[in-house]
A = this chain, B = another copy of it.
Amino acid sequence: MEYVFKAIAHIENAYDEKFGVPRQSGLVNGLESKIVFEPEYRVREAFRGIEEYSHLWLIWVFSEAVREQWSPTVRPPRLGGNKRMGVFSTRSPFRPNPVGISSVKLERIEYGDMGPVLYVTGADMMNGTPIIDVKPYLPYADSHTDASNGFALSDRQGTLQVIFSEKADKKLSDEMRAYLYEVLSQDPRPQYKQDSEKIYMMKFGGMDISFSVNGDILTVNDILLPE
């Protein structure tokens, strides 16, 4: 059996590429994302009562991770990238149906030219990601504090200290510096490719960020602003 789902909305944020997107929702909480709906769903009544909820679920499509064939195992980056786990035991984007779920904090809703726009924080989705559903988060059904984190526990480990070079620092507003600090301190590198000599390039908020990592310290070397 096959089911056809339509994109009802997409997300707009500073995560210009997959590299740098937090590995799960709620890890980077400062950065705001906008949920912009397709014209058909720009209906004010469809959101009546949504402000009563502090958190929402976004159901979305890993549109960048579609593959012809599914693989029974994947290598979770935080396990060092050399250990294979069952795809259904992970949140890897490379799964039979490339569908993701993210719980985000609803900051506010605004009504304008684009219809109702939801402003959320905590998203782990790349700019432009298509969304197929928005639902309220219901803690009485969705929150299991006693659940075991399994081998994903280590996702909380490995935060870095972030240093900005003088050159880079001058190009950042206070707000953008704070966002970038939060994003980079999560350590966006694939765990199995650690090399202190390597210069990493990350697209973020229209900028090109170059950085390197030595031990627990990440240094932002330079920033190219959009022209």
Q: Please give the residue numbers on chain A whose beta carbons come within 8 Å of chain B beta carbons, in ascending order.
A: 1-8, 24-27, 41, 43, 45-50, 52-55, 57, 59, 61, 72-73, 84-91, 95-97, 99, 101, 103, 130, 132-153, 155-156
Contact = CB atoms under 8 A, between A and B. Distances in A.
A72 B43 contact: yes
Nearest to A45: B72
Given A2-B6, A52-B89, A89-B49, A139 B132 contact: no
12 contacts: A2-B7, A3-B4, A5-B99, A26-B140, A26-B144, A45-B72, A45-B73, A45-B86, A46-B72, A50-B89, A59-B101, A137-B144
Contacts of A142: 103, 142-144, 147
Nearest to A53: B150
A152 to B, nearest CB: 5
A150 B45 CA distance: 17
B136 A91 contact: yes
A47 B88 contact: yes
Nearest to A25: B141
Q: Which 10 A-B pairs have the closest CB atoms?
A: A52-B150, A24-B141, A48-B86, A46-B72, A49-B89, A55-B147, A50-B89, A53-B150, A5-B97, A1-B7
